[in-house]
């Protein structure tokens, strides 16, 4: 137990790696850190770089992360990796795009929800669905 | 024999429709499996994060992050997750009905609502009904990346941090099984502080550089991952609903073809009988 450490590398979109290792190296914001089995609980943001997992036989596996968070508990290392390159300006661009998209379509747009229209819209869809169901029932009998 | 040709054409057209719905059903079925896998793949990340956040929040009560502090709610942000395409039964209609019910409640309580929209269906719906839309993202495709979702979320989060909205909730479909999807509205921020008494251990993390920065990053990523998961789940719902809708459409087409075939046979038989009668009649007259 003391000579290996459980490693999990996950991103919001998928699990990247899971297994045991002798040592893990990660690109922490303040410089690369190496985590050996029995390390004290530790948490830090990661910068872009390689997370290297060193197996018991000395063989190394590397995973590129663009950023994320490293969490260490005794006997367990978790890398919560970002899936996309996160930079303030990129995020800013995404925000602008979402806003512009909305503004283009909802320009001169009533700010209050018109419940009468909403009800009418919903009623129309529901009526369509009911018609389909009725047709189906009738076909089933016939 | 006048109606026979028309009936034949009709049968051919229903058959080609059936081919299309059949193909759509199979495509939806295979996509559903893939999206379900993606839904499952996103879970370990959120679970891990929840654990860490609960711990950090517990260990550092002196730094109250805005995401963790409940406020008096005067204005609400609501993110509506819909599909981009139709032909998926009542999926979007059920969700919108739930959303409209909630909006009405907020309206009666005098709370202002700001919307953030994912998917072309929500965008179309709210452009007809009205509503204050802060941001929208459409045409996300079947396998959206986290990056595609960040825009709308950040617009809402900025409004939240600036105090112009006091809570953000997400309305989306939840995947119960491939036959059942349920619309649900879930609060995103402020995060419900997890009442986990098991966390009162005596250990604490070593923070680098400090707890504040770690918590900041952690909470943002956490909420983004939750949102991502809900969007992926909604896509799984879309595929399941489409599969079921297209299956019943194919079944109906099959029944319709059967009926038309029967009518066609009758018409043909009638024509033959009539022709025979005419020949016999003609022969008798000679």
Which of A62-71, A125-134, B70-79, B213-222 has the least mean pLDDT?
Answer: A125-134
User: B54 to chain A: which residues are within 8 Å by CB?
Assistant: none
CA distance B13 to chain A (A): 19
Alpha carbons A32 and A117: distance in angstroms, whole number: 58
Q: What percent of chain B has pLDDT over 70?
A: 93
| Same domain flag for A50 and A66 | yes
B 47-66 residues inside an 8 A Cβ radius of A: 48-49, 52, 56
| Same domain flag for A70 and A110 | no
Which of A127-136, B119-128, B134-143, B168-177 has the least mean pLDDT?
Answer: A127-136
Check residue A116 and give left, alpha or beta (phi > 0: left; psi -120 to 50: alpha). alpha
Catalogue the E-assigned strands of B26-130. 75-81, 112-118
Which of B90, B113, B152 minimises the CB distance to A129?
Answer: B90
pLDDT at A1: 47
Task: Report in angstroms the alpha-carbon separations of B90 from B96, B232, B233.
Answer: 10, 18, 16
| Same domain flag for A64 and A108 | no
- The residue from A48, A67, A86 where one domain ends is A86
Pick from A95, A98, A107 the residue to mutate for testing the B interface (most B CBs within 10 Å).
Answer: A98
What confidence tens digit (pLDDT) does each residue in B28-47 have? 999 999 999 988 888 888 88
- The residue from A86, A114, A130 where one domain ends is A86
Q: What percent of chain B has pLDDT over 90?
A: 60
Query: Strand pairing partners for B259?
Result: none
pLDDT at A26: 93
pLDDT at A119: 81
Contacts of A136 (CB under 8 A, 6+ apart): B248, B251, B252
pLDDT at A142: 47
Q: How many residues does chain A have?
A: 142
What confidence tens digit (pLDDT) does each residue in B245-269 have? 999 999 999 999 999 999 999 999 9
Chain-wide mean pLDDT for chain B? 89
| Same domain flag for A34 and A79 | yes
What confidence tens digit (pLDDT) does each residue in B267-279 have? 999 999 999 999 9
CA-wise closest residue to B31 among B249, B180, B235: B235
Residue B227 gets which letter from DSSP? H
Domain that holds residue A121: 90-139
| Same domain flag for A21 and A49 | yes
Alpha carbons B238 and B230: distance in angstroms, whole number: 12
- CA B4 to chain CA centroid, nearest Å: 44
ipTM of the complex: 0.80
pLDDT at B258: 94
pLDDT at A139: 63
| Same domain flag for A94 and A80 | no
| Same domain flag for A82 and A94 | no
pLDDT at A36: 92
Instruction: Tell me the average pLDDT across B174-202.
Output: 78
Reply yes or no on whether the pLDDT at A103 is more than 90.
no
Phi first, then psi: what are they for B92, rounded to 5°? -70, -40
What confidence tens digit (pLDDT) does each residue in B161-172 have? 999 999 999 999
CA distance B159 to chain A (A): 12
| Same domain flag for A99 and A128 | yes
CA distance A62 to chain B (A): 20
Instruction: Tell me the average pLDDT across A89-106.
Output: 83
| Same domain flag for A55 and A26 | yes
B 159-198 residues inside an 8 A Cβ radius of A: none
B 11-50 residues inside an 8 A Cβ radius of A: 38, 41-42, 44-46, 48-49
Size of the A and B interface in Cβ pairs below 8 Å: 184
| Same domain flag for A13 and A79 | yes
Pick from A79, A118, A127, A136 the residue to mutate for testing the B interface (most B CBs within 10 Å).
Answer: A118
What confidence tens digit (pLDDT) does each residue in A40-77 have? 888 899 988 889 999 988 899 988 888 889 999 888 89
Which of A108-112, B109-113, B207-211, B238-242 has the least mean pLDDT?
Answer: A108-112
Pick from A10, A12, A66, A132 the residue to mutate for testing the B interface (most B CBs within 10 Å).
Answer: A12
Residue of chain A whose Cα is closest to the Cα of B103 = A113
Reply yes or no on whether the pLDDT at B196 is more than 70.
no
Instruction: Tell me the average pLDDT across B8-30.
Output: 95
Name which residue leads in pLDDT, B27 or B219.
B27
pLDDT at A113: 80
Instruction: Tell me the average pLDDT across B202-230.
Output: 84
Report CB contact under 8 Å: B38, A14: yes
| Same domain flag for A76 and A128 | no
Overall number of domains in chain A: 2
| Same domain flag for A49 and A13 | yes
- The residue from A70, A86, A102 where one domain ends is A86
H helix or E strand, kind and range, residue B138: none
Alpha carbons B10 and B24: distance in angstroms, whole number: 21
Q: Does B4 touch chain A (CB under 8 A)?
A: no
Terminal alpha carbon distance of chain A: 69
Give the confidence band of B61 by pLDDT, cuts at 50, 70, 90.
low
pLDDT at B60: 64
Q: Are A24 and A34 a contacting pair, CB within 8 Å?
A: yes
CATH number at residue A43: 2.60.15.10
- CA B232 to chain CA centroid, nearest Å: 8
């Amino acid at each position: 137990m003391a000579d290996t450490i459980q490693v999990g590398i996950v991103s919001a979109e998928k699990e990247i790696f899971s297994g045991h290792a002798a040592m893990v190296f990660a690109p922490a914001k303040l410089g690369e850190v190496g985590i050996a089995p029995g390390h004290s609980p530790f948490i830090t943001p990661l910068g872009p770089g390689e997370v290297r997992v060193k197996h018991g036989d000395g063989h190394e596996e590397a995973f590129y992360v663009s950023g994320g968070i490293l969490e260490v508990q005794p006997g367990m290392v978790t890398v919560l990796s970002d899936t996309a390159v996160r930079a303030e300006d990129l995020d800013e661009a995404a925000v602008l795009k979402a806003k512009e998209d909305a503004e283009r379509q909802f320009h001169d747009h009533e700010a209050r929800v018109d419940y009468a229209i909403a009800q009418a819209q919903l009623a129309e869809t529901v009526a369509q669905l009911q018609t389909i169901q009725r047709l189906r029932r009738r076909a089933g009998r016939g | 024999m006048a109606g026979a040709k028309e009936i034949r054409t009709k049968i051919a057209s229903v058959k080609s429709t059936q081919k299309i719905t059949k193909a759509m059903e199979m495509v939806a079925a295979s996509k559903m499996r893939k999206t379900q896998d993606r839904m499952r793949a996103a879970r370990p990340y959120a679970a891990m994060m929840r654990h860490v956040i609960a711990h950090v929040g517990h260990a550092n009560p002196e730094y109250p992050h805005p995401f963790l502090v409940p406020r008096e709610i005067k204005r609400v942000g609501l993110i509506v997750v819909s599909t981009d395409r139709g032909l998926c039964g009542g999926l979007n209609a059920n969700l919108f009905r739930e959303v409209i019910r909630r909006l009405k409640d907020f309206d009666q309580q005098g709370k202002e609502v700001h919307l953030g929209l994912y998917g072309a269906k929500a965008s179309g719906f709210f452009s007809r009904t009205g509503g204050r839309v802060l941001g929208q993202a459409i045409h996300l495709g079947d396998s959206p990346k986290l990056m595609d979702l960040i825009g709308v979320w950040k617009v809402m989060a900025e409004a939240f941090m600036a105090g112009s909205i006091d809570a953000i909730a997400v309305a989306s479909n939840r995947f119960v099984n491939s036959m059942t999807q349920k619309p649900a509205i879930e609060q995103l921020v402020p995060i419900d502080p997890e009442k986990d008494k098991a966390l009162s251990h005596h250990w604490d993390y070593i923070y680098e550089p400090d707890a504040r920065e770690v918590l900041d990053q952690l909470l943002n990523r956490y909420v983004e991952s939750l949102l991502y998961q809900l969007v992926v789940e909604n896509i799984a719902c879309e595929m399941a609903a489409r599969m079921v809708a297209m299956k019943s459409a194919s079944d109906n087409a099959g029944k319709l073809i059967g009926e038309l075939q029967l009518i066609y046979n009758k018409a043909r038989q009638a024509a033959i009988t009539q022709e025979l009668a005419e020949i016999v009649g003609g022969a008798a007259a000679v």
